[in-house]
Structure 1
Amino acid sequence: MTIGDRRAAVVGTDPGEAAVSAPRVGDTVLFGGLLLLTAVIVLLDVRTGEDLRVVPLLVVVPALVSVFGTVRQTGYTAAWIMAVVVTSRLVSGGTFWDVAVGVGFTVLACVLGVGSCLLRIRHATEIARLRSAAVALQRQILRPLPVVTDQVVAHGVYAPIEEDRLVGGDIYEVVESPYGTRVVIGDVQGKGIAAIGAGFAALGAFREAAIREPTLTGVVDALEDAVARHNTFSAQTGEVERFVTALVLGFEGEDRVEAVNCGHLPPHLLHDGGAAAVPLRLTSVPLGMAELSSEARGAEQFDFPAGATLLAFTDGVTEARDASGTFYPLDTRLDRWAGYGPSEVLDALHADLEAFSGGVRRDDIAMLALHKAPTGNRRRQSGAMSGQGARRAAQTFSEW
């Protein structure tokens, strides 16, 4: 699933009708089928005679229509069925109490069918509003890709483990700063809303620090402080403290990339028809665990030649398994797509992951494919953001 804008469409005349995912049946088809069903049931009832009355079975039809129809369609169906069944009951005769009980049961069943349709649409309306709020929240947490800066073009794929969620525990961000483009991709320990909260804390800190801090290690220190503060608050509220594995990248020069690896998987470089993991030697503890290590985090550099694609990802990729439990062989599979463009690599890799795992996802998946921006792309007039502009941008992110 390539990251992009997600929009909730509003269609239909009844409130909440747009939120009903099941396809609605047109009035002509519905009423045509209703007439046909009624004719068949009435003929069967005539043939079976008094021994077996089948017309009363029509009372289940409004309940069935309420599952996929609108309130208006369910109401018309209930009125029609009520008229047919009640008329049949009156014509067939019987004692007063037999007729009264039969008519009362028919009316009750039809009213319940319309009521269940109303409740379904009300519930669908609430779900639609919640999902709309989730879409708005996602746009604040995770930026739609691709993102184009002076140094790189960032394409991405994001697939939460739970289909009913738009955001999971994996995070990413791309920020253009006075010190070049800075990128983070990370994986929060655990899943659920609490994991999303820890990820949001890290993202907010990155958006501010990426513009404010002149060094990449300074950015990572700000992330560490943010996760530590979040964990302190979590402990006070009885929630589990969490750590975040993260890879922070800085693109400033022409052919070099700076990296700080906080317990994350190393990126892979696709270039000259081959793919290989970037040999990062300095791997420190994840964010939120700095107090457990006596060594300060350090940055290192590696080559990023022209025409190359840098692929960063979370462990949802490498820990995907097939039916036999075998892990996904990323290193051998990437060679197949070494000559592809960034978006094509992501599409091919995502499709191969789905095929390999049989569509069974065990973890969130986030992937970024970074490629050098075209020469002269969005050139800044002064070559860098002014200090005053940087402070304004940092203040904006902080207030946000």
Structure 2
Amino acid sequence: MRPWRRVSHRIHSWQASDALLAVPLSLIAAIIVADILTPPHVPLGPLLIVAPAITASFASPLLTALVGLIAVGALLGVGAGFHLLTTESVGAQIISLVVVSVVVTVFRYLRERHSRELEQVRRVSEAAQRVVLRPLPRRIGPLRVASVYMAAQEEALIGGDLYAAVRTSFGTRLIIGDVMGKGLTAMGDASLLLGAFREAARRKAALPELMTYLERSVCWNLAEPTESTDEGECFITAAIIDIPDAAPQAQMVSCGHPPPLLLRERKVVTLHASAPAPPLGLGELSTPEYRVDTFLLEPGDLLLLYTDGVVEARDPRGLFYPLAARAVSWVQDSPVALVHHLRADLLDHVGGRLSDDAAVVALQRTAGP
């Protein structure tokens, strides 16, 4: 940054905080005036400690140190004016004020450094999210689409939930899934499944064939040598949905994933799979059979896909989030409005912080291409 830009930025920052900075400076002036007017045996100098302590709550370390120096200088001036600098009382007051000013300045510096580190982590998480969990476009063929991801970990923006959409020769193919666990390990498993899905979604024409390929990909990943203590314990619930452009219908294969909701004519229908397969990664324990379920998806219908972080979210009383009951009031919404209302209502239900990652995808078939 050039010098003149630094000065301009500093002036702008000062203008933004000078109103609050007037508070500790006014306190210093008021305390000094009161100390001068009161008898010598009533010391008010210790009250100056309040000024740097207040400044540390909103200002930078530099301004905090500056206010501390002003407070120390004011106390020295009063002591010199009354010829009390050599007394033990004033000396103790000055030492105490210097120590407190140094402590709050160091505290403010450490807090500011932590904030910078947290911001850097968030930027890295945002970059990882754009690479791993690509945002869905607002329009995919005849579908209007909206999505949202809410990570449980405060320092991260992504975790083990996943979704993606791929255009094929016949329409749109979507996946939504949830990796067991959270954090970096879950994010790596989610990245593996998304990569396998994007690579095979256009080559595997039939849904059972695609699911078999994804199952093998997850099992191969689990079989790789690793230092992780959770080796072999991973599984992923997932649902893949095919929506052809020409026909008003959709096909679904579910692997232990929560059933989607169909919003149509002020009604909410839960689309339960007739025979859900086990989650991906558990195929070695049995021979999964991937049965395809077909349902109508007409123009105007809304399809809501979600992970278990939504329906398993609890309020302070321990009650689960009633997604189907809440969705009735959003039947007439667009996908963007529906996702917006759901996110706000879910966070309000849990008190502002989720205990598990949550992902939501809403799509609506339109009459046009």
Q: TM-score range by the shorter chain?
A: 0.7 to 0.9
> Per the alignment, do residues 63 and 231 of structure 1 end up closer, same or farther by CA in structure 2, a change over 3 Å counting?
farther
2:236 aligned residue: 244
8 Å contact kept, 2:76–2:85: no
How far did 1:136 drift? 0.8
Q: Residues 245-260 of structure 1: matches in 2 within 5 Å?
A: 245-252=237-244, 253-260=246-253
> Per the alignment, do residues 232 and 32 of structure 1 end up closer, same or farther by CA in structure 2, a change over 3 Å counting?
same
How far did 1:149 drift? 1.8
- 1:34 aligned onto 2:24: yes
Q: Residues 69-108 of structure 1: matches in 2 within 5 Å?
A: 69-94=59-84, 96=86, 98=88, 102-108=93-99
Identity of aligned pairs, percent?
A: 32
Question: Is the partner of 1:211 in helix, strand or coil?
Answer: coil
> Per the alignment, do residues 329 and 79 of structure 1 end up closer, same or farther by CA in structure 2, a change over 3 Å counting?
closer
What amino acid maps onto 1:128 in structure 2?
Answer: E
How far did 1:262 drift? 0.6
8 Å contact kept, 2:255–2:278: yes
Q: Residues 156-305 of structure 1: matches in 2 within 5 Å?
A: 156-233=147-224, 236-240=227-231, 241-252=233-244, 253-305=246-298
Q: Deviations over 1:350-378 (max 9, x none)?
A: 344344445463432221111125523xx
| TM score, norm. by length of structure 2 | 0.84
**Structure 1 residue corresponding to 2:120, chosen from 89, 108, 129:** 129
Superposition RMSD on alpha carbons, in Å?
3.1
> Per the alignment, do residues 56 and 87 of structure 1 end up closer, same or farther by CA in structure 2, a change over 3 Å counting?
farther
What amino acid maps onto 2:209 in structure 1?
Answer: G
Partners in 2 of 1:358 and 1:122 — Cα distance? 28
How far did 1:186 drift? 0.9
How far did 1:291 drift? 0.8
Partners in 2 of 1:354 and 1:291 — Cα distance? 38
What amino acid maps onto 1:347 in structure 2?
Answer: H
How far did 1:166 drift? 1.0
Partners in 2 of 1:123 and 1:323 — Cα distance? 30
- 1:309 aligned onto 2:284: no
| TM score, norm. by length of structure 1 | 0.78
Question: Is the partner of 2:303 in helix, strand or coil?
Answer: strand
How far did 1:228 drift? 2.0
How far did 1:154 drift? 1.8
How far did 1:287 drift? 0.7
Structure 1 stretch 298-307 or stretch 241-250: which is displaced more? Answer: 298-307
**Structure 2 residue corresponding to 1:346, chosen from 334, 339, 362:** 339
How far did 1:206 drift? 1.4
How far did 1:213 drift? 2.6
Q: Deviations over 1:220-251 (max 9, x none)?
A: 23322332233334754323521110001112
Structure 1 stretch 160-169 or stretch 97-106: which is displaced more? Answer: 97-106
How far did 1:92 drift? 4.1
**Structure 2 residue corresponding to 1:149, chosen from 140, 156, 164:** 140
How far did 1:106 drift? 4.0
> Per the alignment, do residues 110 and 333 of structure 1 end up closer, same or farther by CA in structure 2, a change over 3 Å counting?
closer
8 Å contact kept, 2:145–2:336: no
Partners in 2 of 1:266 and 1:102 — Cα distance? 69
Structure 1 stretch 125-134 or stretch 29-38: which is displaced more? Answer: 29-38
8 Å contact kept, 1:78–1:113: no
- 1:375 aligned onto 2:368: yes
Gaps of 5+ in 1: 1-11, 18-22, 377-400
> Per the alignment, do residues 351 and 121 of structure 1 end up closer, same or farther by CA in structure 2, a change over 3 Å counting?
closer
> Per the alignment, do residues 331 and 278 of structure 1 end up closer, same or farther by CA in structure 2, a change over 3 Å counting?
same
Structure 1 stretch 318-327 or stretch 255-264: which is displaced more? Answer: 318-327
8 Å contact kept, 2:237–2:256: yes
8 Å contact kept, 1:172–1:185: yes
1:391 aligned residue: none
Gaps of 5+ in 2: none
Question: Is the partner of 1:67 in helix, strand or coil?
Answer: coil
Q: Deviations over 1:259-285 (max 9, x none)?
A: 111111121212233221124213100
Partners in 2 of 1:149 and 1:223 — Cα distance? 23
Partners in 1 of 2:106 and 2:38 — Cα distance? 33
How far did 1:85 drift? 1.6
How far did 1:257 drift? 1.5
Partners in 2 of 1:45 and 1:363 — Cα distance? 56
1:364 aligned residue: 357
